[in-house]
């Protein structure tokens, strides 16, 4: 642990951080490609293993929610006392090539319809408050035309937010590093887009892996984005389990606590050296800074 320099403040930090919960990404059976999830495919086994390790919830990566059985999903979550935090939509683009803004209007139309299907599924089967991530599914944009790209993204984001609002569903925009997405890289660029969209159910999901690449200072970025941060992804700088490389998760947890953040941090990691080891190592490491809540 890296608490030595803070000495007597350690107990205070630990006691005040009780509101944060830990979830893990699980890949749904409809995915055909590998994904950044500790488990994928067999939801019953994945949920059982995560619950046994003491996780509080799951985030589901799916490319097409119509392929899921919502009632079975609810039953599995209840049986394992896990909360569905939300949905990650990266494979909507990664597998099916659907993005909200790009050179092909047909693709754009299909992407908008697919993302609205996430709202429909969530509204039909889950309580208000479900989060839906927008990462790569925002599309490749228009090469060399940032102004038009961002304006069209703003329009699409606002339409999605308005579609979701009556159901109490929230969209969270993820800034992604420049090697994986052409636009909206830094936390500050994400904040700027949230301000442009001007919808209370359109906010940010910050991923410390991308922040480590793009942001000048991770901790200052979290402070700057305090009011609009609704979800956080954890992975070390090697994209593996927290604690396997050099990111200082004790300091990250401390600044989230300083911000009075009371949401989930969710693992989006490579399942290495294997899924069970990655899931166990992650929760054991993070519980040093984020104790399990009672009840």
Q: What is the pLDDT along the chain (295 residues), one digit of tens a residue?
A: 333 334 444 434 443 445 899 999 999 999 999 999 999 999 999 999 999 999 999 999 999 999 999 999 999 999 999 999 999 999 999 999 999 999 999 999 999 999 999 999 999 999 788 999 999 999 999 988 999 999 999 999 999 999 999 999 999 999 999 999 999 999 999 999 999 999 999 999 999 999 999 999 999 999 999 999 999 999 999 999 999 999 999 999 999 999 999 999 999 999 999 999 999 999 999 999 999 877 6
d(CA 291, CA 288): 7
* Cα four-point dihedral sign 26, 207, 181, 100: positive
What is the crossing angle of helices 9-16 and 249-258, to 10°? 70
Q: Which CATH number fits domain 4-286: 3.20.20.150, 3.30.420.40, 2.60.40.10, 3.40.190.10?
A: 3.20.20.150
For residue 121, which of 45, 67, 171, 172 has the smallest C-alpha distance? Answer: 67
- Virtual torsion, Cα 239, 243, 249, 251, nearest 10 deg: -130
pTM above 0.85, yes or no: yes
Structure tokens at 139: 């599309």
251 contact partners, CB below 8 Å, separation of at least 6: 2, 219
Cα-Cα end-to-end distance for the chain: 26
């Amino acid at each position: 642990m890296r608490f030595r320099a803070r000495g007597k403040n350690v107990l205070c930090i630990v006691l005040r951080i009780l509101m944060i919960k830990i979830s893990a990404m699980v890949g749904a059976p409809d995915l055909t490609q590998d994904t950044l999830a500790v488990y994928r495919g067999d939801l019953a086994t994945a949920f059982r293993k995560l619950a046994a390790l003491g996780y509080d919830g799951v985030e589901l990566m799916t490319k097409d929610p119509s392929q899921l059985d919502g009632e079975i999903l609810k039953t599995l979550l209840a049986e394992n006392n896990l909360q569905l935090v939300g949905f990650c939509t990266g494979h909507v683009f990664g597998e099916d090539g659907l993005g909200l803004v790009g050179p092909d209007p047909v693709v754009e139309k299909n992407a908008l319809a697919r993302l609205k299907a996430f709202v429909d599924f969530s509204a039909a089967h889950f309580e208000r408050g479900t989060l839906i991530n927008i990462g790569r599914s925002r599309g490749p944009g228009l090469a060399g035309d940032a102004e038009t790209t961002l304006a069209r993204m703003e329009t699409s984001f606002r339409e999605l937010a308005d579609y979701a609002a009556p159901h109490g569903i929230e969209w969270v925009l993820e800034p992604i590093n420049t090697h994986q997405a052409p636009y909206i890289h830094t936390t500050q660029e994400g904040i700027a887009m949230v301000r442009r969209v001007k919808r209370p159910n359109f906010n940010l999901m910050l991923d410390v892996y991308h922040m480590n690449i793009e942001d000048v200072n991770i901790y200052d970025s979290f402070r700057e984005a305090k009011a609009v941060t609704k979800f956080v992804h954890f992975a070390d700088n090697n994209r593996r389990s927290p604690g396997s490389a050099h990111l200082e998760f004790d300091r990250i947890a401390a600044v989230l606590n300083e911000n009075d953040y009371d949401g989930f941090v969710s693992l989006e990691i490579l399942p290495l050296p294997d899924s069970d080891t990655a899931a166990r190592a992650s929760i054991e490491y993070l519980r040093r800074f984020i104790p399990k809540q009672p009840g």
